[in-house]
């Protein structure tokens, strides 16, 4: 394959190799690579074992500068700086004797799918993107043509810290007009995956399509879907693993006029403390064709110690979505009947299940609330609120209000119900109360999908204004009203006011991008 159009003159370019060949080349060329006893390829990403969001840069260009939500998420660089980093990446790629190219698709809906090209130096990276993108047929590959986006992964070579705008040896640069991404100074494969998502988060809304950081399932009978938003620890992955429903995807989706579709062809699951008992679907999926990233294994029998976090807490497994038995292929479904926001409220004041109106949906979508608890991070001794806009702040390109407006439009157009589900604490905050039982949360989700909560009686929460469901099959009635689960009503009131104040303070940064009705949909302090 010839890459001269990018300034790359390497003669040995290997395009869309099969997993078997990539396994062979990884074992031959990378000393640390191994094959697990399950058949998955074990690979290591070097010193970077997670994303580097503070090193992400977006080119400020006249054609898109009015669209981009500039700030700590989208840090600007000028085009000359991007070209310096691009040339540095291309120069490094030209020093390699062999390069790998993956040509594949992002988006299962052919009306909206993007053709993505990845140029990289490591077989592990090629296998990862072969897994995470949608793999073309032989005929589609022959007719692939020019890509819609190109990723130059020169992650083994550092950025120059003296280049304008660089803060470390790592740089992940996105040029929206050129539809290019340049990676320097990090070999963490997830940067490529989220780079594709970032590009989709810009170009899909331009086509009136909502891109979403969520999991999705569908009813096996009528095809009606639901989407589940939630930050880490809220239960998004666990609750989407529902044998009664089809899995559409675990992480990245779009909602178009045709329905919803998965952006990806694979799943990228956390592997720390993975067991066959707790996560049987994921455990069996990590076989030949999958990638196990930064795990520790026994050098004798190559069994993986999933509880070992000596390299990182962020051990990962990437596998094709068809490795999940109840996955729906192609990964498409009808319009969602239900939109579910998951939160783990460690303050213990949000109800287990509430129904949201359109403005409340926008407010809580933009807020993206959950809470850290004591012991999860150094210095956290009491519940600590965490807000990530649209439940995916690091990957947004437009102002959060843009995505929220698209969501509200879809909800109204397709008469979807929106729910706020608290999987966190009841009977008091973390340290006093207890975590919601998974059985109760599953009963709530089952009732949502069955439609049995649509006409359930509600009470209005006086602080948060939520329409609190007061009757749900399989859930004790007293649990549904959090005030009733606290021993001291005054302490409950104080905790509710504290959390409400945090919501209000956080939302101020989005005030200029949303309507007054959305601002008014938040809690009352």
pLDDT, tens only, 288-297: 999 999 999 9
Helix (H) or strand (E) holding 359: helix 358-367
Tokens 């150094």 belong to which residue?
378
What is the predicted pLDDT for the residue at 238?
84
**C-alpha span between 230 and 391 (Å, rounded):** 6
Section 113-125 average pLDDT: 98
Section 193-212 average pLDDT: 98
What is the predicted pLDDT for the residue at 377?
46
- For residue 51, pLDDT over 70 is answered with yes
> What confidence tier does 176 reach under pLDDT thresholds 50, 70, 90?
very high
Section 493-501 average pLDDT: 96
pLDDT, tens only, 414-468: 999 999 999 999 999 998 999 999 999 999 999 999 999 988 999 999 999 999 9
Is 442 assigned a catalytic role? no
Is 115 assigned a catalytic role? no
Decide if 231 contacts 204 (C-beta within 8 A): no
Section 193-215 average pLDDT: 97
Name residue 214's beta-bridge partners: none
Catalytic residue among 33, 38, 225, 237: 237
pLDDT, tens only, 18-27: 999 999 999 9
- For residue 135, pLDDT over 80 is answered with yes
Take residue 9 and report the two structure tokens written for it: 């003159």
What is the predicted pLDDT for the residue at 381?
54
What is the predicted pLDDT for the residue at 64?
97
CATH code at 51-209:
3.40.449.10
Catalytic residue among 236, 328, 372, 410: 236
DSSP character string of 27-93: HHH-TT-EE-TTBPEEE--TT--S--GGGEEEE--TTTTTTS-BTTTBEEE-HHHHHHHHHHHHHHH
Section 322-327 average pLDDT: 95
193 or 224, which is more confident:
193
Cα–Cα separations (whole angstroms), residue 64 to 70, 178, 179, 389, 397: 11, 11, 12, 21, 10
SS3 289: coil
Asked if the domains 51-209 and 335-519 are classified in one and the same CATH topology, the answer is no
> What confidence tier does 232 reach under pLDDT thresholds 50, 70, 90?
confident
Sign of the torsion angle spanned by Cα atoms 134, 138, 143, 146? positive
| Phi and psi torsions of 106, nearest 5° | -115, 120
Is 245 assigned a catalytic role? no
Section 307-326 average pLDDT: 95
Q: Where are the beta strands (DSSP E) in 133-265?
A: 149-154, 171-175, 180-184, 210-213, 215-219, 225-229, 245-249, 252-256, 259-262
> What confidence tier does 223 reach under pLDDT thresholds 50, 70, 90?
confident
Q: What is the pTM of this model?
A: 0.94
Question: Residue 399: is it exposed, middle or buried by C-beta count within 10 angstroms (0-12/13-18/19+)?
Answer: buried
pLDDT, tens only, 339-388: 999 999 999 999 999 999 999 999 999 999 999 764 444 454 567 899 99
Within 8 A by CB and 6+ apart from 327, the residues are 246, 247, 248, 321
* CATH architecture under which domain 335-519 falls: Alpha-Beta Complex (3.90)
What is the predicted pLDDT for the residue at 31?
85
What is the predicted pLDDT for the residue at 455?
85
Is 217 assigned a catalytic role? no
| Domain residue limits, the chain | 51-209, 335-519
Catalytic residue among 56, 57, 117, 213: 213
Catalytic residue among 316, 335, 402, 410: 316
What is the predicted pLDDT for the residue at 415?
95
> What confidence tier does 511 reach under pLDDT thresholds 50, 70, 90?
confident
| Phi and psi torsions of 348, nearest 5° | 75, 25
Cis peptide before 330 (omega within 30 of 0): yes
**C-alpha span between 499 and 380 (Å, rounded):** 16
Helix 400-414 × helix 190-206 angle, to 10°: 60
- For residue 399, pLDDT over 90 is answered with yes
Is 122 assigned a catalytic role? no
SS3 180: strand
Catalytic residue among 109, 173, 250, 251: 251
């Amino acid at each position: 394959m010839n890459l001269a159009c990018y300034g790359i003159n390497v003669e040995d370019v290997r395009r869309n190799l099969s997993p078997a060949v990539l396994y062979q080349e990884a074992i031959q060329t990378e000393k640390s690579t191994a094959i697990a006893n399950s058949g998955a390829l074990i690979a290591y990403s070097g010193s970077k074992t997670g994303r580097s969001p503070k090193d992400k840069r977006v080119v400020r260009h006249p054609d898109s500068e009015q669209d981009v939500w500039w700030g700590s998420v989208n840090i600007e660089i000028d085009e000359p700086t991007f070209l310096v980093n691009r040339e540095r990446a291309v120069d490094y790629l030209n020093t390699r004797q062999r390069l790998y190219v993956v040509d594949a698709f992002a988006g299962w809906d052919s009306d909206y799918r993007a053709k993505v090209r990845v140029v990289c130096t490591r077989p592990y990276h090629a296998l990862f993107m072969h897994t995470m993108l949608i793999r073309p047929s032989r005929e589609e590959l022959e007719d692939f043509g020019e890509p819609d986006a190109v990723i130059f992964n020169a992650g083994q070579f550092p950025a120059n810290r003296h280049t304008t705008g660089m803060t470390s040896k790592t740089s992940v640069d996105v040029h929206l007009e050129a539809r290019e991404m340049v990676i320097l100074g990090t070999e963490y494969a997830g940067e490529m995956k989220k780079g594709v998502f970032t590009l989709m988060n810009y170009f899909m809304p331009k086509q009136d399509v909502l891109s979403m950081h969520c999991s999705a399932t569908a009813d096996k009978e009528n095809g009606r879907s639901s989407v589940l938003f939630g930050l880490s620890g809220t239960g998004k992955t666990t609750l989407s693993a529902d044998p009664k429903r089809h899995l559409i995807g675990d992480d990245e989706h779009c909602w178009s006029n045709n329905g919803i579709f998965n952006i990806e062809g694979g799943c990228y699951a956390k592997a720390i403390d993975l067991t066959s008992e707790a996560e049987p679907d994921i455990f069996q999926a990590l076989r030949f064709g999958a990638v196990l990233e930064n795990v520790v294994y026994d050098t004798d029998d190559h069994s993986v110690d999933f509880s070992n976090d000596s390299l990182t807490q962020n051990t990962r497994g990437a596998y094709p979505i068809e490795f999940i038995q109840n996955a729906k292929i192609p990964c498409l479904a009808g319009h969602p009947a239900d939109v579910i926001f998951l939160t783990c409220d460690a303050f213990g004041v949000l109800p287990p299940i509430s129904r949201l109106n359109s403005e409340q949906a926008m407010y809580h979508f933009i807020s993206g609330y959950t809470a850290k608890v004591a012991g999860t991070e150094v210095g956290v001794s009491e519940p600590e609120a965490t807000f990530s806009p649209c439940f995916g702040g690091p990957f947004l390109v437009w102002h959060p209000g843009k995505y929220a407006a698209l969501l509200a439009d879809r909800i109204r157009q397709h008469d979807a119900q929106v729910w706020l589900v608290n999987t966190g604490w009841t009977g008091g905050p973390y340290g006093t109360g207890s975590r919601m039982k998974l059985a109760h949360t599953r009963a709530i989700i089952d009732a949502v999908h069955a439609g049995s909560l649509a006409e359930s009686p509600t009470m209005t929460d006086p602080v948060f204004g939520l329409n609190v469901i007061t009757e749900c099959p399989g859930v004790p009635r007293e649990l549904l009203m959090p005030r009733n689960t606290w021993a001291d009503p005054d302490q409950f009131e104080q905790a509710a006011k504290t959390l409400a104040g945090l919501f209000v303070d956080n939302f101020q940064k989005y005030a200029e991008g949303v309507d007054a009705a959305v601002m008014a949909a938040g809690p009352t302090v």
